[in-house]
Amino acid sequence: MSLLGRRWTKNLFLALGCWLWISTPAWALDTVVLKSGDTLRGEIKKVEKEVLHFDTDYADEVFKIKWEKVARLESDHTFLMEVYSGRRYTGVIQTDEEPKEAAPMMVTANTGDQEVPYEDLSQLQAVETSFWSRFDADLDGGLTVTKANASRQFNLGAGLEYFSEKNLLSERFDILVNTQGNEEAEIRTDRWESKTQYRRLVGEKWYAITNLDLLRSSEQELDLRTTVQGGAGRFLLNSSTEHLSLAGGGAWTSERYEDPETPLTNSAEAWTGVEYYTERLRIADFSFTYVVLPSLTRRGRVRMNFNTELKFNLPGEWDFKFRLYNNFDSDPVVEGVPRNDSGLVTSFGWEL
């Protein structure tokens, strides 16, 4: 290529780059107007715990602004929005040019162009058109060593959640390995659990629910317990910082034990459960679930599952957790095994 040709090509690429930079539409950036009169431009990430998370190019960390200090938002992006009544919408933010006091900012849902007052928003989550953008994930783990009785405990957990306007799909996997003693006389117990849950929201308060729970517990000589649950639930309390729900239905459980001579056990069960979650502690989140499963095919047998967690929010996306669990079986199939499988787990985690 001649010298003139190379210069022409270089100038062409330079001009093209300048044109792309100048022609980038202004609406590619979101705008936050505070009640103090300050204006920020960047990217709206989410609103949760009554705090707006806002990312800018001129700051290394995401801005966290109290929701009550925000006067209005301006964005052409799509958001998944939840109001205090629990109803969810997918839509865009529509802002009037007049001041907020004279014409409150409205949220326009894609379905039916329903308008929602700005003040009614409890949660806001930026979403894209791609399927993978609607996933949240977290990972945590811990290691505890006690010299006195040569005890070592290792735990690892991971969670994945998909959300949309009407659907919520979550998967949680936890593994726990505990050893005690030396190599000559070592006692080892291991436990792993997988919980898959799907909820379909029906109206503002009700939802259909399906669970698939898998559990292995050497403490109860349980090789694998598979429980499939189906039913319905209702939110008794649902806001941006806490929710309380009650659900129930039917279940089918299949149990295989470590002793090959113990036959495979199948049973039908009813179930009812309560779930509570709160972020009102500010520096920590607290949750618990309690499920009771009375057997319909084995008279007198009742199983109960209890889980509670206290998660301390650390700077960035890190956290520290205390989790207490207990699985109770009033009439174990294998004689002599403990009726309770319980433990306390501490872990250090990261939200992706």
How confident is the model at residue 96, as a pLDDT? 55
Residues near 211 by beta carbon (within 8 Å), at least 6 away in sequence? 195, 196, 197, 198, 227, 228, 229, 230
How confident is the model at residue 184, as a pLDDT? 64
In a 13 Å sphere around the CA of 54, the CA atoms on its Cβ side amount to: 23
The pLDDT tens digits of the residues spanning 164-175 come to: 778 889 999 999
- Write down the mean pLDDT value for the chain: 81
The pLDDT tens digits of the residues spanning 334-344 come to: 888 999 999 99
Yes or no: is domain 133-351 CATH 2.40.160.40?
yes
Q: Which of 203, 210, 115 is nearest to 166 (CA)?
A: 203
Are the CB atoms for 117 and 106 separated by under 8 Å? yes
Are the CB atoms for 62 and 29 separated by under 8 Å? no
Dist CA 282 CA 264 (whole Å): 47
What is the DSSP-derived secondary structure letter of residue 68?
G
For the cut 80, the answer to whether the pLDDT of residue 122 exceeds it is no
Residues near 351 by beta carbon (within 8 Å), at least 6 away in sequence? 136, 137, 138, 317, 318, 319
Band (pLDDT 50/70/90 cuts) for residue 255 is very high
Band (pLDDT 50/70/90 cuts) for residue 185 is low
The pLDDT tens digits of the residues spanning 5-64 come to: 455 555 545 554 554 444 444 445 888 888 888 888 888 888 877 788 888 877 777 788
Dist CA 104 CA 318 (whole Å): 36
Lookup: tokens for 173:
């996997």
Instruction: Check residues 143 and 213 and name the one with the higher pLDDT.
Output: 213
**Residues spanned by CATH 2.40.160.40 within the chain?**
133-351
Band (pLDDT 50/70/90 cuts) for residue 114 is low
Dist CA 37 CA 132 (whole Å): 36
| pTM attached to this predicted model | 0.75
